Amino acid sequence: MDDTRLPLRPFTTHKLIKGITYPEAVSFRDLVVTGPPGSGKSTLIAYLDGWSEEGVVDLTQKGWWKQPVLHMRPREVHFLIPFVGFERAVPVYELKSLDHPDFLEIDLFRLVLPPRKQGPLATDFRNRFLFEFLLPDAEVMYQRRQQRAKARSHTVEEDLSLAQVRLELSIYQQLAQFMHQEGMRVLVRTEVDAPPMVIDSPQCATQPINKLSAQELLQTLDKVQLRQRVFNRSWNERSNRDLMALFVEMVPTILQVEECAIFIRQQDSEALWLVSSNAEEKTTARCKSQKSLGCDLVSQVIHTGLHQVFELGEGQQKPAQDGELEMRNALCVPIPHLSRAGASGAILVRNTTDGRAFRAEDRNFLERLAQHLQTASETLFLRRQLSNFSELLGQKVETTQWLRMIIALLSMLVLAETALLMILH
């Protein structure tokens, strides 16, 4: 997850609440304090004489803003946050319970937003609370939590690393920016005694999409494209890794071969964008360079859509290239497209452990496996096509905006020329 640097600026007017500096418009009962572990939430609540018990708020639940945990304020809360590819929302101190936490992306589109005020008698839940984010430097929080780990006062501090603290901080930074951009009241402090800051970025438009200006529509398209990129990244780095790892671990045992590799061809390209193998990582570079015999076989299968079998004849020798597994025999089957002709990838197995030739039942097994991979690869292709379409649509909208400006300027010139001619006559 990328580190997020929040653009911050100070408030113009201030007042003191229990000795703590706040913006002039803030009420004592508006305050909801949050932040990653070790940020100082409990200390701030103690200074404010707030509610002593911690609360937990699931941001994916409809109506979370009406939960009893938020009735008593000021109060510190932990957010349950959804991540792409995981059904369960979790607090940041439970990220280790998720597989591959290095590739986590907040699923912003599963975050439920409080409704805006719809009428004079309606409650404005969007502005009901002031969410105060405590976001110190990661190094400062890491030192605090190391001290807590030594004192054994917090069980979640075991096996703590600076990288984990930075990840948790980045998640809360992104969450603060998202809530601010969606029109919620957000305040940021870098320390308990630091001055309050506001995020210096515009908030999203509130009108329906059919009434958005061209610039606002472009911003909406940017958000859609962001979600597509998040899905693609999660699919590429986490979901595909697990799926392919399962297959390449299972196949060599079942077919009694030394190696299994799965290749997915990049859309509208000859490049193999994903290679998963139980051999060394050198397989990836070797296959991208298209220099090995195994990759020549894969290339033929992807182009023809037909399976290929390689058998090294008796007395023949095929020396392996640097870092390449010597290939005595191999079987390669295509992963066909669901929606069009051709192959979207291939499955390659090579070197039977007992020296036997590949049989028809081996090919049938791999072809059945390829059918299971059809949906996975096709979903990826469709996502990329949708992403390309939305980017093209965004370019069209931007072009239309420029055309309107040019037409408006030409119209002004025509009117000016007409007025000048009328004056001269």
| pLDDT for the residue 225 | 56
**Interval 214-225: pLDDT, tens:** 555 555 555 555
Tokens of 63: 């109506």
The sign of the torsion formed by the CA atoms of 97, 102, 103, 109 equals positive
Is the distance from CB of 4 to CB of 175 less than 8 angstroms?
no
Domains, the chain, ranges and CATH? Answer: 8-204 (3.40.50), 243-374 (3.30.450.40)
- pLDDT value, residue 23: 93
Residue 318: is its pLDDT beyond 90? no
| pLDDT tens sequence across 69-85 | 999 999 999 999 998 77
Segment (H or E) for 62: none
pLDDT higher for 393 or 3? 393
> Which region among 53-62, 299-308, 369-378 has the lowest average model confidence (pLDDT)?
369-378
User: Which of the four pLDDT bands, split at 50, 70 and 90, describes residue 300?
Assistant: confident
pLDDT, residue 282, reads 39
Q: Which helix (H) or strand (E) holds 311?
A: strand 308-311
For the chain, percent of residues with pLDDT exceeding 70:
69
CB atoms within 10 A of CB 357: 10
Q: Do β-strands 343-352 and 329-336 pair in parallel, antiparallel, or remain unpaired? A: antiparallel
**pLDDT at residue 275 is higher than 50:** yes
- The answer to whether 257 touches 350, Cβ cutoff 8 Å, is yes
Contact (Cβ atoms closer than 8 angstroms) between residue 49 and residue 73: no
315: left (phi over 0), alpha (psi -120 to 50) or beta: left
- Residue from 290, 293, 288 nearest 328 by CA: 293
| Bridge pairing between strands 20-23 and 272-277 | unpaired
